[in-house]
């Protein structure tokens, strides 16, 4: 029985780690806290973040410039405190991971090295539903090299009538057209559909075709287990404000496989932090980059931006991705059951793959014209506004008709899922009823 009591029993048996986070208060409905399903846009704040950040601020007040060496967490090597946890999170060697900049900045810095068009091998392969900033980034890279973005960027589309890419179709394209592909850059988990691509298989196909393979892991890092080193991924980048709960606009991560470390043939932009730490203060005019991912750094790290990332990574180290992934599959599967129970007769379809191995903790719904009946403006955005203000359920919309729900295993609950399904059932009327989509 998919009842409220059943959801409460599930939470008692499988509680997660909600107590580690601040959950916003609800302004609608009969519950004190919101049911939060927008962690794929912005994760919740860990309770430990404020105190940890204040410790760093207090060191600045107490020590001034001497905090670079004498702070409780000295600022000079501060980014190194994040290296081990970051590497463990994405399945990398410590030398392969670094926290720096923002996601799209990192993609550009990495493409300086790994997009090297030559002869007929100029194409960049992305998915048609890539996040817009990725589309902008690869088009601008093509133009920077004097190429026509419309001819250079290849956008892979699902089969007619389908919403998600098939791994076999991506692999087939690379086998057929790979001699013209310089770079494959796909999203590990698609932001719109929640589809988890087969990173290992696509990476192997791309590299076998002679291309370099990078991944945007914005919706994958902290969501699904990753083994970037073992899979042979050339490079990757991700943000840390979604599933990694490091705050709005938080610093991003980057990965470079060790086979590229120290390669003098790789072009790379450099700055002060690109050189060996041991010789940095010799102040020489020529960089001596280390044979690690740190060579892709440009500037000294912003300490107060790194603090929340460090705090969040401690949670992932403590809980572990295997346990989170197992709970994610249980929680997302339960939400899917609830949605299936309310869908008959209502203009709702689930566009996220049904197979648990092909998705993270996100279900994307396509909602019909009657989904926001009675709401000014209509559309997915109007529906999410109603869910929030009337029922205390926070989701997000991608116009015109996609509503995304992310039951994050760290802090979401089975009761949250039950609340979301009840709110959708109350808000989206069955087709043919008054105010429905029978026009």
Which of 319, 337, 363 represents a domain boundary (last residue)? Answer: 319
384 and 315 both lie in a single domain: no
Q: Which of 315-324, 364-373, 398-407 has the lowest mean pLDDT?
A: 364-373
Model's pTM, two decimal places? 0.95
404 and 414 both lie in a single domain: yes
Residues 93, 416: Cα–Cα separation, whole Å: 37
Higher pLDDT, 347 or 434: 347
Residues 280, 377: Cα–Cα separation, whole Å: 57
Residues 309, 319: Cα–Cα separation, whole Å: 16
Whether 164 has a pLDDT exceeding 60, the answer reads yes
203 and 90 both lie in a single domain: yes
Q: Is residue 95 part of a domain?
A: yes
The SS3 call for residue 48 is helix
199 and 121 both lie in a single domain: yes
Whether 276 has a pLDDT exceeding 90, the answer reads yes
Asked whether the beta carbons of 435 and 370 are under 8 A apart, the reply is yes
188 and 280 both lie in a single domain: yes
What does each C-alpha distance from 296 to 81, 106, 185, 250 come to in angstroms? Answer: 17, 9, 18, 18
328 and 307 both lie in a single domain: no
301 and 216 both lie in a single domain: yes
pLDDT, tens digit, for every residue of 280-311? 899 999 999 999 999 999 999 999 999 999 99
Work out the burial of residue 69: count CB atoms within 10 Å of its CB; fewer than 13 is exposed, 13-18 middle, 19 or more buried.
exposed
183 and 152 both lie in a single domain: yes
What does each C-alpha distance from 104 to 137, 150, 308, 395 come to in angstroms? Answer: 7, 20, 20, 25
Nearest to 153 by CA among 108, 177, 183: 183
Average pLDDT score over residue span 19-30: 92
Whether 435 has a pLDDT exceeding 70, the answer reads no
Higher pLDDT, 2 or 395: 395
Give the CATH number of the domain where residue 338 resides. Answer: 3.90.1150.10
Q: Count other Cβ atoms within 10 Å, centred on residue 53.
A: 18
Whether 376 has a pLDDT exceeding 70, the answer reads no
Whether 337 has a pLDDT exceeding 90, the answer reads yes
Compute the C-alpha angle 119/122/123, nearest 5°. 150
In the chain, % of residues over pLDDT 70: 96
Residue whose structure tokens are 């389908």: 162
232 and 364 both lie in a single domain: no
The SS3 call for residue 239 is coil
User: Phi and psi at residue 21, in whole multiples of 5°?
Assistant: -130, 150
pLDDT, tens digit, for every residue of 168-198? 999 999 999 999 999 999 999 999 999 999 9
Q: Is residue 173 part of a domain?
A: yes
Q: Which domain holds residue 243?
A: 77-319
Q: Is residue 343 part of a domain?
A: yes
Give the CATH number of the domain where residue 115 resides. Answer: 3.40.640.10
Which of 268, 289, 319 represents a domain boundary (last residue)? Answer: 319
Residue 102's pLDDT band, with cuts at 50, 70 and 90, is: very high
Average pLDDT score over residue span 76-84: 96
Whether 94 has a pLDDT exceeding 50, the answer reads yes
- Mean per-residue pLDDT of the chain: 95
* 140 alpha carbon, distance to own chain's centre: 22
| Number of compact structural domains in the chain | 2
Please report the pLDDT score of residue 186 as a whole number. 98
173 and 254 both lie in a single domain: yes
The SS3 call for residue 65 is helix
Whether 135 has a pLDDT exceeding 70, the answer reads yes
What does each C-alpha distance from 300 to 20, 106, 147 come to in angstroms? Answer: 30, 15, 33
Please report the pLDDT score of residue 27 as a whole number. 86
351 and 203 both lie in a single domain: no
Q: Is residue 64 part of a domain?
A: no
Please report the pLDDT score of residue 375 as a whole number. 42
**Secondary structure letter of residue 251 according to DSSP:** -
89 and 158 both lie in a single domain: yes
What does each C-alpha distance from 40 to 220, 293, 430 come to in angstroms? Answer: 10, 27, 28
Which of 282, 297, 319 represents a domain boundary (last residue)? Answer: 319
pLDDT, tens digit, for every residue of 202-227? 999 999 999 999 999 999 999 999 99
Please report the pLDDT score of residue 28 as a whole number. 73
Asked whether the beta carbons of 331 and 407 are under 8 A apart, the reply is yes
């Amino acid at each position: 029985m998919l009842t409220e009591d059943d959801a409460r029993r599930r939470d008692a048996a499988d509680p997660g780690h909600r107590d580690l986070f601040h959950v916003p208060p609800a302004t609608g409905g009969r519950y004190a806290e919101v049911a939060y399903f927008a962690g794929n846009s912005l994760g919740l704040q860990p309770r430990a973040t404020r105190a940890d950040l204040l410790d760093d601020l207090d060191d600045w007040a107490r020590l001034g410039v001497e905090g670079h060496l004498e702070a409780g967490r000295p600022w000079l090597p501060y980014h190194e405190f994040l290296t081990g946890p970051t590497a463990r999170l994405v399945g990398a060697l410590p030398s392969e991971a670094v926290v720096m900049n923002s996601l799209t900045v990192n993609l550009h810095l990495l493409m300086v090295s790994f997009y090297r068009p030559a002869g007929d091998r100029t194409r960049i392969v992305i998915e048609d539903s890539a996040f817009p900033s990725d589309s902008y980034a690869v088009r601008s890279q093509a133009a920077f090299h004097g190429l026509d973005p419309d001819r250079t960027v290849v956008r892979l589309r699902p089969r007619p009538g389908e919403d998600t890419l098939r791994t076999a179709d991506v692999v087939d394209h690379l086998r057929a057209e790979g001699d013209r592909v310089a770079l494959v850059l796909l999203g590990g988990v698609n932001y719109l559909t929640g589809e988890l691509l087969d990173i290992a298989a696509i990476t192997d196909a791309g590299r076998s075709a002679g291309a370099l393979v990078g991944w945007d892991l914005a919706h994958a890092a902290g969501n699904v287990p990753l083994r970037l080193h073992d899979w042979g991924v050339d490079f990757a980048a991700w943000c840390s404000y979604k599933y990694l709960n490091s705050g709005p606009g938080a610093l991003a991560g980057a990965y470079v496989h060790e086979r590229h470390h120290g390669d003098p043939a790789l072009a790379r932009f450099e700055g002060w932090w690109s050189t060996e730490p041991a010789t940095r203060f010799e102040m020489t005019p020529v960089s001596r980059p280390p044979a690690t991912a740190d060579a892709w750094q440009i500037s000294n790290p912003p300490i107060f931006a790194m603090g929340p990332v460090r705090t969040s990574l401690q949670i992932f180290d403590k809980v572990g991705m295997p346990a989170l992934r197992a709970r994610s599959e249980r929680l997302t599967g339960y939400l899917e059951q609830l949605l299936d129970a309310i869908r008959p007769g209502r203009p709702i379809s689930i566009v996220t793959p049904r197979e648990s191995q092909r998705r993270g903790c996100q279900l994307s719904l396509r909602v019909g014209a009657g989904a926001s009946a009675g709401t000014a403006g209509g559309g997915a955005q109007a529906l999410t506004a109603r869910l929030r203000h009337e029922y205390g359920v926070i989701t997000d919309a991608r116009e015109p008709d996609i509503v995304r729900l992310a039951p994050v295993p760290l802090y979401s609950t089975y009761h949250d899922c039950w609340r979301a399904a009840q709110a959708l059932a109350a808000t989206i009327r069955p087709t043919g009823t008054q105010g429905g989509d029978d026009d």
